[in-house]
Chain A
Amino acid sequence: MRTAISRLSLVEPRSLRHALRLMRDEAGLVPLAGCTDLYVALNDGALRATRFLNLWPIEELRVIEPRGPVLFIGALATYSSLIRSADVRRWLPMLVSAAREVGGRQVQNRGTLGGNIANGSPAGDTLPVLAAAEATVVLGSATGTRRVPFTAFYKGYRTTVMRADELILGIEVPEVEGRQWFCKVGTRGAQAISKVVMAAVRAPHPRVALGSVAPTVVRVPKTEAALTGGASVDDARTILMSEIAPIDDIRSTAAYRRHVAGVLLGRFWEQTAAGRPVY
């Protein structure tokens, strides 16, 4: 431990409403979900906050249920609960695939969808799924609720459009028309950060989203337009490789990421062709 725990404090809200009032009244309060990133961020010096808000006991944030035209997934749904949920398996099987790829079982039992979204890592495994599914982020505050399309949620590297007084309540996933596809190329067989991760939907207007190839999760509209317009997968691949901006880092190289993104696009296209079962 490289953090002085005695200098930290934790606020325990009595309810969601209480939590939202606390977020409004206290600047700099950091909400805590499953905490799978917390101590690493504190020890790294990446997180300098000292006051935290414990969301963990708030049961209504764990709910997973269909609500009319959308599936609502509460911010505190853990990866394990996503994997077990019959509703998620039916509506968004590519989210189940993504959840299985996160960490090991221990991390899956504690890490949450809300945490993955709020963290905003460009490598977050669920984020391309939500982008390809065109989910909506439901934000709550003491003054009410607002909805932000997931594809408009990030302004830049680990930066969201959330106000300081807002909490992620959950996401709403519309029915996804088309065949879903997900693939993560990690640094090893399990417990791996992605080198490239892709989620996609095969539909008349295909949707393709990637992680680890830009400062945030991205959709690739030019590539999608090409596929919609009937371009060959080789041509679409060429467009894709110039539409993304991967970098060299400690885990991989820009050249490798660019190449593999193209490979994944080809696999998506081939594996979701008519008559081929995916899920």
Chain B
Amino acid sequence: MRFTLNGRTVDVRAHPMKRLLDVLREDCHLTGTKEGCGEGECGACTVLVDGEAVNACLVPFAQVRGARVTTIEGLRGRRRLQEAFVEHGGAQCGICTPGMIVAAAALGRRPNLDDIKTGLAGNLCRCTGYSGIYRAIEAAAVPLRPARRRGARGKRR
């Protein structure tokens, strides 16, 4: 079945009812996405499907036909976010981290603390108490471009 995986079109043979999580881990050999519960409660298996965060343990493979699937391995342009997790204590044991980063990537470039808490309510972490994760996401927020300064005569510099 054809779909887009981390930016590349792929054709993967797997049972249509196999969980997307298992297809990624076993058939695509991408073990970055983790199983924490198999119930859709912990978010460790979070991947993006057409840009939206979903629990891969709940998605039958057939339902990503033609869709764009992004896993932790395929997170492009979010290196800043990943670096921030390393620097600010966003990752301790690391098992929730791939799902957490993927879910965080779906929050947009400058989420406020409320957005972060709401957007990550489906990602459980047992190590950090979430504080380090908030710090990491806030630190990674793309800064607003500074407004151009105007000179004394009101002309743009």
Contact = CB atoms under 8 A, between A and B. Distances in A.
B12 to A, nearest CB: 15
Contacts of B62: 10, 12, 54, 56
A6 B15 contact: yes
Given A105-B103, A106-B53, A56 B121 contact: no
Contacts of A27: none
Interface string A13-40: 0000000000000000000100110111
Contacts of B63: 32, 35, 54, 56-57
Q: Which of B40, B43, B65 has its CB near the most chain A CB atoms (within 10 A)?
A: B40
B17 A9 contact: yes
A109 interface: yes
A5 B18 contact: yes
A103 interface: yes
Contacts of A103: 40, 122
A105 B38 contact: no
B55 to A, nearest CB: 5
B7 interface: no
A80 B58 CA distance: 16
Given A9-B17, A36-B58, A105 B53 contact: yes
> Main SS of chain A's interface residues?
mixed
A106 B43 contact: yes
Q: For chain B, give the interface size range.
A: 20 to 34
B124 to A, nearest CB: 8
Contact of B119 (A1, A105, A110): A105
Nearest to A54: B62
A1 B65 contact: no
A24 B119 CA distance: 41
A103 B46 CA distance: 14
Interface of A: 1, 5-6, 8-10, 12, 32, 35-36, 38-40, 43, 52, 54, 56-57, 80, 103-107, 109-110, 189-191
3 smallest beta-carbon distances between A and B, as pairs:
A104-B122, A190-B121, A109-B52
16 contacts: A5-B19, A6-B15, A10-B60, A10-B62, A12-B62, A35-B58, A52-B17, A54-B16, A54-B60, A105-B53, A105-B122, A109-B54, A110-B58, A110-B59, A190-B121, A191-B122
